[in-house]
Amino acid sequence: MLPSDVDMERYPGLKRWVIGCFSGHKKVNDIIYQLCQQTGWDWNQAKQFVDQVARENQKEIHQRRMPLLLGIGLLMMASGTIAFVSAFPDLQTTLSQMEPPLDLSRVVEYIFLGRSGYLLAAKLVTGTAMVIGGGIGTLRAVTAAMTGAGEDLLKNPSRRPQ
């Protein structure tokens, strides 16, 4: 039986394994189940161990997760920038085909009347959303790695499987 606070020094290999699982974005219940299989502990013992490892090593876990999340965020921002910037030659072509005076209502009407207008709008909106989303995700990953205060690693309540 494990006491209320597990002596992590007695299980350094298991501690490293649990940290590695969290770093690999495994679900809490999957980690607990595999720990039960490896150690023969019951569900509550394994849950207690996983909870304690997550609480005491949150900063390290977020630091180990950061490279993947940072890569995804930067890739998303780069893709969004490419989509956004690629819309400008289309916009320039569209605007050059219009006759003056150019007011906003005519420009919007002209853009959305043609098929290429929908593609242009999609590039602008999608590109903007990707840059914003990638930036927010990257900022959250870096903040979590620096402070240890990020996504709750135990957000899924662990319940014994039926």
Query: Mean pLDDT, to the nearest integer, of 1-30?
Result: 80
Query: And the tokens for 86?
Result: 């690629």
pTM strictly above 0.85: no
51 with 69, same domain: the answer is no
Total structural domains within the chain: 2
Distance CA 40, CA 37 (A): 6
Q: Are 145 and 67 in contact (CB under 8 A)?
A: no
| Same domain, residue pair 83 and 128 | yes
Same domain assignment for residues 24 and 80: no
Regarding whether 143 and 125 lie in a shared domain, the answer is yes
Rounded to an integer, what distance in angstroms lies between the CA atom of residue 54 and that of residue 22? 8
Q: Give 34-88 pLDDT, tens digit per residue.
A: 999 998 899 999 999 999 998 888 888 888 888 888 899 999 999 999 999 988 8
Domain that holds residue 40: 8-56
The residue from 37, 56, 75 where one domain ends is 56
Same domain, 37 and 81: no
Q: Which residues contact 18 (CB under 8 A, 6 or more apart)?
A: 31, 35, 49, 50, 53, 54
Q: What is the DSSP letter of 99?
A: P
